[in-house]
Amino acid sequence: MSLPKAELHLHIEGTLEPELAFALAARNGFALPYADTDELRKAYLFEDLQSFLNLYYELMAVLRTEQDFADLANAYLARAAAQGVRHAEIFFDPQAHLARGVSMGTVVDGLWRALGESESAHGISTQLIMCFLRDESAESAMETLEAAKPYLDRIAGVGLDSAEVGHPPVKFREVYEAAAGLGLRRVAHAGEEGPPEYITEALDILGVERIDHGLRCMEDPELVARLVRERVPLTLCPLSNVRLRAVDVLAEHPLPAMLDAGLLCTVNSDDPAYFGGYVGDNFGAVREALGLGEERLRELARNSFLASFLEHDEERRARYLAEVEAYEFGG
Tell me the binding residues for Zn(2+). Answer: 9, 11, 189, 270
Choose, by CB under 6 A, the member of 271, 278, 280, 281 that binds ligand ADE.
Answer: 271
H/E element holding 186? strand 185-190
Distance in angstroms (rounded) separating the CA atoms of residues 63 and 42: 21
Residue 47 is among the residues annotated as catalytic for this protein: no
CB of 191 to Zn ion, least distance (A): 12
The reply on whether position 270 binds Zn ion by CB under 5 A is: yes
Contacted entry of ligand ADE, Zn ion, none for residue 7, CB cut-off 5 to 8 Å set by kind: none
Q: C-alpha distances in angstroms, 118 versus 74, 94, 125, 155, 206?
A: 8, 21, 7, 16, 31
Contacted entry of ligand ADE, Zn ion, none for residue 49, CB cut-off 5 to 8 Å set by kind: ligand ADE
66/270 with CB nearer Zn ion: 270
Residue 168 exposed, middle or buried by CB count within 10 Å (0-12, 13-18, 19+): middle
93/270 with CB nearer Zn ion: 270
The reply on whether position 243 binds ligand ADE by CB under 6 A is: no
Which residue type, as a one-letter code, is found at position 208? V
Q: C-alpha distances in angstroms, 82 versus 23, 139, 290, 304, 316?
A: 23, 40, 23, 17, 20
Q: Which of 7, 17, 66, 192 is catalytic?
A: 192
Distance in angstroms (rounded) separating the CA atoms of residues 198 and 204: 10
Residue whose C-alpha is closest to residue 62's, from 96, 24, 108: 24
Contacted entry of ligand ADE, Zn ion, none for residue 304, CB cut-off 5 to 8 Å set by kind: none
The reply on whether position 164 binds Zn ion by CB under 5 A is: no
25/73 with CB nearer Zn ion: 73
Residues belonging to the active site:
192
Which residue ranges make up the site for ligand ADE (CB under 6 A)? 11, 14, 49, 56, 161-162, 189, 192, 240, 270-271
